[in-house]
Structure 1
Amino acid sequence: MTRPIVYNIALGVFLCTTVMTITSIVTPNWITYQVTADNTGKTFTKSLGLHQSCSSMDDPSCRSFPDDDDCRDDQFFCSMWRSSGFLLSFATIVELATLITFLVVMLGGKYKRETGWKLIGSFLVADAVIEFAGMGIVAYLFDTDDQFAIPGWQLSWSWILCVVSASASVLLAGTLALSAYLLPSEDDYEYLEDPLDC
């Protein structure tokens, strides 16, 4: 039986994973490049996000990515990159549905707590699958696309946040399932102490 305390802790962790997912989407740090010039000592940086590219050489420093210029020569890269952005945005919708499910189950009484872990777990696993697919596309492009063949490119912290978020969703689903099978059923009534018992 999954108890209220388990749901409360799981909800807290889930909210943290949702913040990580949203942060990874809005920050342009999925793939980064950094190099220091030998003769001047200046450092050049470029970072790619799901929807933005930022460079220390550009003014303004950030622009929409991928744009028409990026896609003119490499339609495959653009399609895959945009698919990754779509998947991660869709993951936030699944996370919103998961949050609503958490609240319904937690506020619905004992029966909903006893059975609701299955629905919450399903949403958590679906969220993780979508996130893993999105980050897998980025990792695949990082490994295979020619623009990242130059040494200095690396998967950065937005990608790592997404990995942690998806992994935590899988762990939460497993924890809810284990608690449902391992914890004893909660009682509907609290027993009062006998005032005459000495």
Structure 2
Amino acid sequence: MADFSLVPSGHGSNYTGMLTRSIVFSVALFVFLAASGMTIASIIVPNWIAFDGSTSHGDPVHYTYGLHRRCSSTNIPPSFDSRSTSSNVMADSLQCVHMWRSVGFLMSFAVVLEGMTIAAFAILLVGGKQKREQGWGVLTILVALAAFVQAIGMALMAYLYENDERFFSGWFLDKSWTMCTISWSFQAVCAIAITLAAVVLPSEGGYELIPDHA
């Protein structure tokens, strides 16, 4: 009768090293959660494009534009979606208004994708080795798609800043734009790390049965 013994598998189909797919996926999840928090903050905080200057009397003036409202050091005008939008800074350019609203839509869509991605992370981490081996491709696509959508929104805002005549000297891309940039960059790194872990690291496992042919 063949005799079997349990031995640590360092060279077989199961991997028992310090760095496993579950560890990489867990770290990627924490990084992705931080990136998602920055995505939400960039939507809430009205600081995509800002201006620091002074009036003709020398009084300091500070303006900030968010995705849905504009703020200043003296007042808070209505949101871009209200009927009074035509009296705001974006009113004389429908193309600018449409692009601005497109950025808002893209960022909201990114949050939806991030929610789906977090659910996918949870399923793969709780589901065990087999789910991680079979589902990492879908997870990578979701992470990459969330990063791509945000990158488009960031690029559109940068295009408006560089090309719209309203944003003259004194205007600058502010904190919300920076948070969006960091967010999609972190998510892109997560997608790369997940792919490398799935392709490079061997299959997870603690021990396997090795037949003794002696």
Q: Paired residue for 1:64?
A: 79
TM-fit CA distance, 1:126: 0.5
Q: Is the 2:96–2:160 contact (alpha carbons within 8 Å) kept by the matching residues of 1?
A: yes
Question: For residue 34 of structure 1, what is the amino acid of its counterpart?
Answer: D
Instruction: Indicate whether 1:146 and 2:161 are aligned.
Output: no
- Alignment pair present for 1:26 and 2:44: yes
Which residue, out of 178, 189, 198, partners 1:171?
A: 189
- Tell me by how many angstroms 1:69 deviates: 2.4
Number of matched residues?
A: 187
Does residue 17 of structure 1 match 2:35? yes
Q: What are the superposed Cα offsets for residues 44-63 of structure 1, whole Å, 9 maximum, x if unpaired?
A: 000001111001122xx353
Q: How does 1:90-169 map to 2 (within 5 A)?
A: 90-149=109-168, 151-169=169-187
Question: Matched residue of 1:88: which SS?
Answer: helix
Distance in 2 between the 1:26 and 1:63 partners? 15
TM-score of the superposed pair, with normalisation by structure 1: 0.87
Tell me which of the two structures has the higher relative contact order, counting C-alpha pairs closer than 8 angstroms and 6 or more residues apart: 2
Instruction: Determine what percentage of the aligned residue pairs are the same residue.
Output: 39
Q: 2:11 maps to which residue? A: none
Of 42, 51, 59, which residue of structure 1 is paired with 2:68? 51
Structure 1 or 2: more helix by fraction: 1
Structure 1 or 2, whichever has the larger Rg, is: 2
In the alignment, structure 1 segments of 5+ residues that lack a partner are 192-198
Please state if 1:183 is matched with 2:201: yes
Q: 2:78 is paired with a residue of what secondary structure?
A: strand
Asked if the contact 1:49/1:65 (under 8 Å) is kept, the reply is no
Unaligned runs of 5+ in 2: 1-14, 210-214
* Cα distance between partner residues in 1 of 2:28 and 2:95: 39
Q: Once structures 1 and 2 are overlaid, which stretch shifts more, 121-130 or 175-184?
A: 175-184
Question: Following the alignment from structure 2 to structure 1, what is the Cα–Cα distance between the partners of residues 69 and 98?
Answer: 15
In the alignment, the residues of structure 1 paired with residue 195 and residue 165 of structure 2 have an alpha-carbon distance, to the nearest angstrom, of 44
Q: Relative to structure 1, is the Cα distance of residues 15 and 190 closer, same or farther in structure 2, using a 3 angstrom cutoff?
A: farther
**1:194 corresponds to:** none
In the TM superposition, residue 189 of structure 1 has moved relative to its aligned partner by: 4.0
Distance 2:96 2:56 in 1: 32
What is the identity, as a one-letter code, of the residue corresponding to 1:77?
C
